[in-house]
Chains A and B, each alone.
Chain A
């Protein structure tokens, strides 16, 4: 029996080798390779199918304008389906193709690749994914959140609440969250701020898959009666939350959602803008179409005789893709400049990323400063509120309770 077993394996390996044989071409001299993981078919396909085209469009725009310092960028995208083993395969493929950096996709995938990135000295970005302590560049030297982590979002959410209510002292705040590690992550920050400001915090967990939360919302609206609700939900659940709060007569203007419950798609799934009036959303990239770079992308499509892609209408996720791409390009630009115009190594691109500063793309990207110690870039957020038929900016780029977040980062750093 063993021989059949082994020979079967051998046959499969041989087939695989044949199938892959053709794909091994090396990058040309004036070309830089980026790896980009995406989820277009898994549980977060709603995000991926919009975010990833945004990424590609920005890279295409840069290439159409002659590239970065004369270098064209080639993007290799791998759909990891939000599964962990394909993420490892994707990473190895990027490495084989000579990628200088990679965009990660998904929290478990980021967790699984942290160590490998460090071993292979490859820069990986995880905007909106992964763990908050990855902001600490000393702990995770090759992982870059490059966007507000859940800790920073917690700080920013409460800063906004404080502004709305005047003071937090003696107030009641409800925190409704998806019952997974990402949902629980902001708890220490919320508790620390509650202690400092002296408000009552109560938490309400929504079990996976998060489409049934009538009991929790009823508990919040009828029993706890909070002054404000902070929501941290994923997937289908933000839209369910909007519907439930609306149905119980709770004003949505007293709800603020973290970044994954804040897209046009969530509002539409909840029943449209009419239902969601007043709903506040945290954002780590600019929202809307009123940015020069987006107009450039439309112009690029027009020059090719094509209509602008429909993904652009879903500006929250699309712009996040654009932002990720823009920061990748900026890191590359810094690296090429530092390297005297020659093709940089992955290590040099990492240095380039650690010197991104004052790059805002006219407000689409926050005014972040990425340093070797701070891979998050400061944890900047914006708040957009549903008004009429659009998400309207309610608060420009800001950081909330930075000192508490820094203290938390320092305490986890000292622990391990």
Chain B
């Protein structure tokens, strides 16, 4: 962030693709790790940690969706349903078999990946809006199935309570403890995504996105990579669903309905399609902005109105401002917050000169 090489000194592909372009970057990461592992959890109140926790979970889901939509160019509006697949798989395993989270979490992800591949099959023949509708069907079919098959949903209420995750007798039962639980998996998800997108896999995804026929001609197996993209994306969604399940202590499909899929699409579009940082910024933006807006509107509104009137006005205003800000950011930079950030960086890199 604060350091750049003075020119282009790379002499090999390996150095060009390195996660750390400069040795000093390792120190930056170390400092940030210290900030997130030690300083933030020790100094922040539970309330702020709870917001960070929600952001962490959203980041995992957004990263997954960005692999599919941003990197591979396949639209999906079934992301919420894949989360519920992960959530119910983990909840059933945890409650019926008493398995710990380090088994249920990957299991939830794998089950979601399997279902994701099935829902992704139409992507082999159709694209764009057609695929969007096909995945929408997937979302509705999964919702219906969970609602009606009591073997999955655990009864008429379609919700399964799970205990807090434990590790070696340590229970993650407060926001502060769940913070570490979620931080670990979010960091893992970020690192995994960074590595996926700079490997052969990621390049193949990008080739499919940019022009699938050309990709096929240069030897990329479209069948395999499209379905693989659905599998990986759904795996993330499943893990995201499992994290929600452990965070709330319940698997409930009503928390993963169509509107959730749309929310996650909004995150990656605002953040920036096809970028890891974009997914993270988008998840932060969509989770945090409504909260910040409410607090700001509350404080500003108090100057003009009494509280009863304020409550009437604030909710609507907040939605309007939220929508307006999304439009504003997308007009300023259609490629999302990630691009905006890059523009700012490259501006200051040569400042005060224009180039």
A interface list, Cβ under 8 A from B: 1-10, 12-13, 16-17, 19-20, 22-23, 38, 40-41, 49, 52-53, 56-57, 60, 75, 77-79, 81, 83-86, 88-89, 92-93, 95-96, 107-108, 111-116, 119, 131, 179-181, 184-185, 187-188, 207
Contact of B48 among A7, A16, A77 (CB under 8 A): A16
A92-B47 contact given A19-B295, A119-B174, CB 8 Å threshold: yes
Which B residues lie within 8 Å of A89 (CB)?
Answer: 50-51, 54, 291
Q: Is the CB of A95 within 8 A of B35?
A: no
What separation, in Å, do the CA atoms of A96 and B44 have in the docked complex?
Answer: 12
Query: Could you tell me which residues of chain B, from 286 to 316, have a CB within 8 Å of some CB in chain A?
Result: 287-288, 290-292, 294-296, 298-299, 307-308, 311-312, 314-316
Is residue B261 within 8 Å, beta carbon to beta carbon, of the partner chain?
A: no
Q: Is the CB of B308 within 8 A of A5?
A: no
Q: Is the CB of A1 within 8 A of B19?
A: yes
What separation, in Å, do the CA atoms of A17 and B37 have in the docked complex?
Answer: 17
B174: nearest chain-A partner, CB-CB: A119
Q: Is the CB of B254 within 8 A of A4?
A: no
Q: Is the CB of A111 within 8 A of B316?
A: no
14 intermolecular pairs with C-beta atoms under 8 Å apart:
A1-B194, A6-B36, A12-B288, A19-B296, A22-B299, A49-B312, A53-B312, A79-B315, A84-B248, A88-B248, A114-B161, A115-B248, A181-B254, A188-B156
B interface list, Cβ under 8 A from A: 1, 19-20, 25, 28-29, 32-33, 35-36, 40, 44-48, 50-52, 54, 57-58, 144, 147, 153, 156-159, 161, 164, 173-175, 190-191, 194, 244, 247-250, 252, 254-255, 259-260, 263, 276-277, 280-281, 284, 287-288, 290-292, 294-296, 298-299, 307-308, 311-312, 314-316, 318-319, 341
Which A residues lie within 8 Å of B28 (CB)?
Answer: 3, 6-7
> Which one of A3, A38, A60, A114 has the greatest number of beta carbons of chain B within 10 Å?
A3
A88-B54 contact given A5-B276, A19-B296, A115-B249, CB 8 Å threshold: yes
What separation, in Å, do the CA atoms of A188 and B155 have in the docked complex?
Answer: 11
Q: Is the CB of A41 within 8 A of B319?
A: yes
A118 to chain B, nearest CB (A): 9
Which A residues lie within 8 Å of B291 (CB)?
Answer: 86, 89
A92-B46 contact given A40-B315, A53-B308, A79-B294, CB 8 Å threshold: yes
Which A residues lie within 8 Å of B45 (CB)?
Answer: 96
A8-B249 contact given A16-B292, A53-B308, CB 8 Å threshold: no
Contact of A41 among B48, B174, B315 (CB under 8 A): B315
B2: nearest chain-A partner, CB-CB: A7
Contact of A112 among B252, B298, B316 (CB under 8 A): B252
B194: nearest chain-A partner, CB-CB: A1
Which A residues lie within 8 Å of B290 (CB)?
Answer: 81, 86
Q: Is the CB of B25 within 8 A of A52?
A: no
Q: Is the CB of B32 within 8 A of A6?
A: yes
What separation, in Å, do the CA atoms of A112 and B91 have in the docked complex?
Answer: 14
Which A residues lie within 8 Å of B263 (CB)?
Answer: 83
Q: Is the CB of B311 within 8 A of A52?
A: yes
Q: Is the CB of A111 within 8 A of B159?
A: yes
Which B residues lie within 8 Å of A49 (CB)?
Answer: 312
A181-B158 contact given A20-B295, A115-B248, CB 8 Å threshold: yes
